[in-house]
Amino acid sequence: MQLAEQLRLARNKKEILLMTHLVLGYPSFAVNREVIQQMVANGVDVIELQIPFSEPMADGPMIIKANQDALANGTKVAECLAFAAEMAAQYDIPFLFMTYYNILFKYGVEEFLRKAKEIGIRGCIIPDLPPEEGEEYLRLAKKLDLAPIQIFAPTSTEERMRTLAGHGDGFIYCVARRGVTGSKTEFDASFDAYLARCRRATDLPLAVGFGISNQEDVRILTGKADLAVIGTATIKLVEEKGAEAVGSFIAGLRG
């Protein structure tokens, strides 16, 4: 089943879906394994696996550090692919790759996407690849039935959103605010207007990320978005309290 269709069906059963994120190899693949086990056991619906890159331009301090430390530990792209294959085989939920374009470019865009498909990955989020530069990527993703997740920002016009949605599949990742990952987001009237704009521009499910960190944030998004994206918050939690704290945190997010 296509990712968008699968998410719509899941959404019929839950008021809001949860997507979580982690940086592969940080602090280690062993901890990644434990965290994912807890996430899945506690009802996470989609997991974003970030392949570390030395220049994570769109990320904030916490995820920059995770990228850096993962690379300092010697994390290789090949290991990330092998680990993702293991997770996708073990768990029933969709897994996505999030990374920067150079990782695909250097691997070979076609080889990377074929490999992702072969190991059971369902889509990719590439924040530094706008559709204008991603013709090859978009064409191949479509051919391989991998969802090339497109990103909306509060600065995107409605016309731009329609263009992006036309290239996208799976769902749309709506960046909740300006800036980078990890800092607090204010959910005010302009945020509601933004989400309404996103909704008008596409029929694809809407995921909202950047600064979503607790039950209150998830509650506010319920009814407005289809997926809430928890990124930095779990990385911080693992750092402070260890992987075992993830389960109860996730379980508590939907109230």
Does 226 qualify as catalytic in the annotation? no
Distance between CA atoms of residues 171 and 152, nearest Å: 11
Buried b / exposed e over 49-88, threshold 16 CB at 10 Å, is: bbbbbeebeebbebbbbbbbbbbeeebebeebbebbbebb
CB of 44 vs another protein, minimal distance in Å: 25
Q: Which residue has the tokens 């839950």?
A: 14
CB of 218 to another protein, least distance (A): 23
Q: What residues contact 192, with CB distance under 8 A and at least 6 apart?
A: 224
**Closest separation between CB of residue 187 and another protein, Å?**
17
In the complex, least distance from residue 18 CB atom to another protein, rounded to whole angstroms: 23
Which is the catalytic residue, given 45, 48, 169, 217? 48
Nearby residues of 156 by Cβ (< 8 Å), 6 or more positions away: 164
Q: Which of 45, 55, 59, 216 is catalytic?
A: 59
Q: Is the peptide bond before 148 cis (omega within 30 degrees of 0)?
A: no
Nearest approach, Cβ of 219 to another protein (angstroms)?
26
Helix H or strand E segment including 47: strand 46-50
**151: helix, strand or coil:** strand
Three-state secondary-structure class, residue 54:
coil
Residue ranges in contact with another protein by CB under 8 A: 53-58, 60-61, 64-65, 68, 71, 76-77, 100-103, 105-107, 127-130, 132-133, 150-157, 160, 164, 175, 178-180
CB neighbour class for 243 (10 Å; exposed up to 12, middle 13-18, buried from 19) = buried
Question: Is there a catalytic annotation at residue 48?
Answer: yes
Active-site residues, by number, are: 48, 59
